[in-house]
Structure formats: structure tokens, C-alpha cells
Amino acid sequence: MSFPAPGPAPANKENLLATGYYNDGAAVKGKYHVYPEQAAAGLWTNPTDLAKYIIETQLSLKGKSNKVLSQETTLLRLTPYKDNSAALGVFIVKKGNEKYFNHDGSDEGFVAAYFGSMENGNGAVVMANTDNWSLLSE
């Protein structure tokens, strides 16, 4: 279940949403913070839907799918433009001999990160309903 923000979640989706928690264990008032702008927290999603996006990006990169973007646009999107690490909406990191596209983010009471291999189809999505970033590094 993914849907655009801003504003509160649709009433019929409210029961599906996790409650955010602060580092001290206190719950975020109202389950989650509502941002008035889309740039911050502009998409509500879950690990499954985000993983599907990563897989589609990987398939597009190899010319095997164009559900999200064409191969040409995907190649452009994953090409660093400012330095070796900043592409269009993602960061490029090298681990060993392999390159990954990734992004992380947080909201009040939530943290998330994803990585997608640019070469072999591996990837990972981690989301936690806490504002404790150290949990993601584990």
C-alpha cells in the first residue's frame, strides 16, 4: 500500500499504518507527523512496494522492463551528475567491485533505507518505526 502525501492518511488506510516511536520509546502523537508539503515525506510506502520499485529499476537498467522508466532514462537517472555519488534522486555507492543506487530517509518516529545493485539484481529495503538510525546500520 503506497499513496502520495501531504496530509493525513486516507481514513480507509489508517488501520494499516505503523505508529512512529522516538528514541526514548514514546509514541509519536497521532501515530505519525503530517507534513504540509510534499517535498518532505512526499510518499508513504512499505518495504514490499519499495522493493518492487528497486527491482523495476534494476530490470529497466538491463533493458528488461520499462514499467517505470525506459532503459535510456534509467541510465540517465543513475548517472552521477554532481560528483561520483549524487545521481538524480539517488546516491551511488561502491562496495567492493559493485555499484549500488541507494537512498535513505526519515520522518518523525520512522527511518528507512534501500540499496539496489546496478549489476547483479541484489537489493535490500529496511524500514523501522523508530527515529533511532543505529538500528538500520545493524
CB neighbours of residue 132 within 10 Å? 14
* 107 part of a folded domain: yes
The 10s digit of each residue's pLDDT in 99-108 is 999 999 888 8
Contact 17, 31 (CB under 8 A): yes
* 138 part of a folded domain: yes
* 77 part of a folded domain: yes
27-59 b/e (C-beta count within 10 Å ≥ 16 → b): ebeebbeeeeeeeebeebbeeeebbebbbbbbb
Domain interval for residue 61 = 45-138
* 89 part of a folded domain: yes
Number of domains making up the chain: 1
The 10s digit of each residue's pLDDT in 45-102 is 899 999 999 999 999 999 999 998 999 999 999 999 988 899 999 999 999 999 999 9
- Which pLDDT score, from 0 to 100, does residue 4 have? 58
Residue 7, pLDDT above cutoff 80: no
